[in-house]
Amino acid sequence: MPRIKAAVCRAFGQPLVVEELVLDEPAPNEVMVDVKACAICHSDIFFAEGAWGGDLPAVYGHEAAGIVSAVGPGVEDVAPGDHVVVTLIRFCGGCHYCRRGQAITCEEVFARDAAGPLKRADGGAVVQAMHTGAFAEKALVHVSQVVKIPADMAFPVASLLACGVITGFGAVTNTARVAEGDTAAVIGCGGVGLNSIQGARISGARAIVALDIDDAKLEAARHFGATHAFNPMRDDAAAEIMKITEGRGIDHAFVTVGAKAAFDGAFAWMGRFGQMVVVGMPPSGVMAEYDPGTMAAWNQRIVGSKMGESTIATDIPMLVALYREGRLKLDELVTRTYRLGEINEAIADVKAGRALRNVIVFD
């Protein structure tokens, strides 16, 4: 069994600690990946701070890319040497939701749910968070979690496809199904929000309004395709949106941050038949408010979008193709790369709002 270095969360809210762990060999239908890059997602930070509970010690990191180093019995889709994206989307293919094409909500109980592949040298268990645990030199995952990518694609860029890109882009194309000529607003212009903006641009939305309280992020939003950008702390965003939409309001409002004010405020911008798409996930216990009378009278709706409702076997290759055609911006999303020993600095940078995506890289 290989020994690997990993960034371990020992206590919620405390810095991660790099230590040596033992990783199991691949079991049937499992793939071992030499992690080359793992981006830092706000979900990793929320988990590490205890916002959603969970058991410790744990290894987070779920937005990764690397090279397959070993496979278990029954694996046919990938082989050692293949370059892959590693996602947290794990599915069986045969349960109720998988048969309906909703693999992101697979209800199968996997063997690794009872005993994960990570241990300390003394045999103590370490949680493989989100079935991935990619803040580590190697990750052992179910074969359903990996998708092959071109060998010439840079790993830091490819890692973004595992979560931030498919979540933001898929919320637009899979969940909301934005059509040419629709109007869209994106509340929160971090890594996920910028990909919702890209999804709206590529889908042909005629107006794409970016909303954020950080002017630097609004400038980035314009670069990624927003037609208008407003700071709700300074601008009368509702009035401006009504001007843009000729008094009708927005067709699709994508809330990509986990803040109560963002969920509550979205209704001020939505028109008749408008929908709010909940993309960002707040800490447990945060509740939003809405006016059910207006919702019913105006045929409005609220829908959730987990991981962009992505089917990774088709969505990730499609996104790779868009990137290679120059239509999808990925390089611009990588703010900075860090080594594993610098992970706490990288996380602090993300929390301070100084990064779109910081990425941990491995030799």
Q: What is the pLDDT of residue 133?
A: 94
Q: What is the pLDDT of residues 230-257, one digit of tens each?
A: 998 899 888 999 999 999 999 999 999 8
Tens digit of pLDDT for each residue in 319-360? 999 999 999 999 999 999 999 999 999 999 988 878 888 999
pLDDT per position as a tens digit, 171-200 = 999 999 999 999 999 999 988 999 999 999
Mean pLDDT within 166-170: 95
- Listed in order, strand segments (DSSP E) in 220-349 are 228-230, 250-255, 270-278, 301-304, 334-338
Enumerate the CATH 3.40.50.720 domain ranges in the chain, comma separated: 168-306
Question: Considering the chain, what is the average pLDDT of its residues?
Answer: 92
Output the CA–CA distances (angstroms, integers) from residue 315 to 144, 169, 179, 309, 359, in the order listed. Answer: 14, 10, 18, 10, 22
CATH architecture, range 168-306: 3-Layer(aba) Sandwich (3.40)
Mean pLDDT across the stretch 268-275? Answer: 88
The CATH number that domain 3-162+330-361 falls under is 3.90.180.10
pLDDT at site 225: 95
Domain with CATH 3.90.180.10 in the chain: 3-162+330-361
The H or E element that residue 239 is part of is helix 237-244
**Percent of all residues in the chain with a pLDDT value above 90, rounded to a whole number:** 76
Nearest alpha-carbon partner for 256 in 164, 325, 321: 164
